[in-house]
Amino acid sequence: MRHRYLAPAALAVSLLLTVPASAAEPSPGTPGVGDPYYPDYGNGGYDVSHYDLRLKYQPKNDRLSGTATLLATATQDLSRFNLDFALDVREVRVNGRKAAFTASGSHELEITPARTLAEGERMTVVVRYSGIPSKVEVNGYTSWHRTPDGGVAANEPEAAWWWFPSNDHPTDKATYDVSVAVPDGTEAVSNGVLTSQRSQAGWTRFAWRSDQPQATYLATLAVGEFDITTDETADGLPVLNAYSENLGENENAARASIERTGEVTEWLQGYFGPYPFNAIGGYVPDTDTGYALETQTRPFYSPRKFAQGANVSVVVHEMAHQWYGNSVSVSQWKDIWLNEGFASYAEWLWSEKQGEGTAQELADWVYDSHPADDAFWTVKPGDPGAENQFHAAVYDRGALALQALRNKIGDKDFFAILEGWQQERSGGDAAVAEFTAYAEKVSGEPLAALFDTWLYQPVKPDASASGAAANSGRSKAAAPVEPKSWRKIQASHQHPHPH
Ligand SMILES: [Zn+2]
């Protein structure tokens, strides 16, 4: 700045004209990222790049304790910020200094650092905590599944609050190192690669690394008595599956499904492009839940999924999510069709490959199974509402929408879109409108009416106008026959409904 003499009046004018308004005071980050379905999920003011979780878990009493170290960057001048968390916190440090903290809202940890942070400044946040996650209820429930031999964190959209503090929204993905000590004879399973397993003084510590961006709800932890199988795919990917030692009569069917994860992944690469992560596998804990979840690299499967025998369709669904949902995540939870419609459609493609019903036959079956006055048609897959986020319509009508698209633009463009979208958006997040714009770009066709019909109208679409059920060649009078694959596909669609 130049120094020169100015008459007082000129000085005042000069200040008014040339001095910018003083920089805004550092302010608190918002207690949510602005997701319309879940306004207090995630937080504003910073971005997490890595979670380091060093934990200890005692299956006898369900006690979890440890330290979470978050590497993050302030995205504004920050006086205070929130994490989403429900267990008891003993101490918080930000960049080495003790920080003040308090619980607020239903699952917020409000942190006031000793020094404010400048926009762009890196911060290391250390949180020491403990709790009995099965006893901690938020909004009337716990996502933590207590099992006879331990516990499991696997739920959607809420799972992290019961085992680590986070910025709990898919728009803030990060890498993970998860290290958990459990009593000898017990296993701790998480995402990615098992980098070490060491026993000392009666406790075995399992260290896991997930080295690609991962959403918080896709981080998982399962402690229990597991039989672990390891292998390597032809492409060199490490395979690790874990089966509870107490699966009883479901054990063989579970193995006959999940041991085919490598084959399924290789097949899916033909549609979606290279597998996006550093490992594959699956795990089946001793839970009484009914759903499966696409936890990153290593899906969670309930034993009940295999009560009627092997179900490879559910493996196809969860592994398809590794692309559609995990590598490319929802921007907001209302974009859930980008996950479930596509994972369901992958099952239709698998059915076609197995000769158990083509995608068109499945489309005809779904379309015909629901009469026009069925409430099924009132749920809009493109914006189903929080209460219907995992409604059957998001899956089945969601897959129908893709069959309608395929019929409209032809196989060449359709499959180019399935793969190209993944390559373009890998590691990030996306909204439904961005996908539909991409489909228009690749196909060169106006598609607004088609997507509006299938994703946004709360009525049964007119088949002749839409393309689905139009190319099946069957007479309109004849009811479609149930495809052989349908029961397995239907059985794969039970999703968490925790509240
Ligand atoms: Zn799914």
pLDDT tens by residue, 289-343: 999 999 999 999 999 999 999 999 999 999 999 999 999 999 999 999 999 999 9
Per-residue pLDDT at 9: 44
Identity of residue 236: G
Q: What are phi and psi of 399, to 5 degrees?
A: -70, -35
Per-residue pLDDT at 295: 98
- Evaluate the omega torsion of the peptide bond into residue 113 and state whether it is cis, within 30 degrees of 0: no
Q: Residue 15: pLDDT above 90?
A: no
Q: Looking at beta carbons, which pairs linking 228-232 to residues 24 or more positions away fall under 8 Å?
A: 228/187, 228/189, 229/259, 231/262
Report pLDDT digits (tens) over 350-381. Answer: 999 999 999 999 999 999 999 999 999 999 99
Query: Ligand 1 mean position to 317 CA, how many Å?
Result: 6
Per-residue pLDDT at 465: 54
Average pLDDT over residues 464-472: 51
Q: Residue 498: pLDDT above 60?
A: no
Per-residue pLDDT at 494: 67
| DSSP-derived 3-state class of residue 403 | helix
Per-residue pLDDT at 23: 59
Query: Ligand 1 mean position to 497 CA, how many Å?
Result: 13
In 3D, which of 193, 275, 266, 260 has the Cα closest to residue 234?
266
Query: Ligand 1 mean position to 95 CA, how many Å?
Result: 39
pLDDT confidence bin for 477, thresholds 50/70/90:
low
pLDDT confidence bin for 467, thresholds 50/70/90:
low
Q: Residue 19: pLDDT above 50?
A: no
Q: In the chain, what are the domains?
A: 329-491 (1.10.390.10)
Sheet holding 300-301, edge to edge: 226-232, 238-244, 280-284, 300-301, 292-293
- Strand partners for 102: 110
Contact 293, 154 (CB under 8 A): yes
Mean pLDDT for the chain?
93
| DSSP-derived 3-state class of residue 375 | helix
Query: Ligand 1 mean position to 14 CA, how many Å?
Result: 62
Per-residue pLDDT at 495: 65
Q: Residue 274: pLDDT above 50?
A: yes
Contact 64, 163 (CB under 8 A): yes
Query: Ligand 1 mean position to 402 CA, how many Å?
Result: 15
Query: Ligand 1 mean position to 295 CA, how many Å?
Result: 10
Per-residue pLDDT at 491: 87
Query: Ligand 1 mean position to 15 CA, how many Å?
Result: 60
Q: Residue 254: pLDDT above 70?
A: yes
> And the tokens for 355?
């000769």
Per-residue pLDDT at 12: 45
Query: Ligand 1 mean position to 335 CA, how many Å?
Result: 13
Q: Residue 466: pLDDT above 80?
A: no
Report the percent of the chain where pLDDT is more than 70.
91
Average pLDDT over residues 466-474: 48
> And the tokens for 273?
């492009």
DSSP 480: P
Distance CA 448, CA 210 (A): 38
Per-residue pLDDT at 492: 83
Q: Residue 386: pLDDT above 50?
A: yes
Per-residue pLDDT at 463: 73
Query: Ligand 1 mean position to 138 CA, how many Å?
Result: 24
Q: pTM of whole model > 0.85?
A: yes
84-88, 194-198, 264-268, 471-475: range with lowest mean pLDDT:
471-475
Per-residue pLDDT at 21: 47
Per-residue pLDDT at 54: 98
**DSSP string covering 210-270:** EEEEE-GGG--EEEE-EEEEEEE-TT--EEEEEEETT-GGGHHHHHHHHTTHHHHHHHHHH
Query: Ligand 1 mean position to 143 CA, how many Å?
Result: 17
> And the tokens for 96?
């080495």
Q: Residue 1: pLDDT above 50?
A: no
| DSSP-derived 3-state class of residue 4 | coil
Query: Ligand 1 mean position to 478 CA, how many Å?
Result: 31
Average pLDDT over residues 393-400: 97
Per-residue pLDDT at 473: 46
Q: Residue 214: pLDDT above 80?
A: yes
Per-residue pLDDT at 478: 72
Query: Ligand 1 mean position to 142 CA, how many Å?
Result: 21
Q: Residue 384: pLDDT above 90?
A: yes
Report pLDDT digits (tens) over 34-50. Answer: 999 999 999 999 999 99
| DSSP-derived 3-state class of residue 439 | helix
Residue with tokens 């680590």: 164
Query: Ligand 1 mean position to 339 CA, how many Å?
Result: 7
Q: Residue 474: pLDDT above 80?
A: no
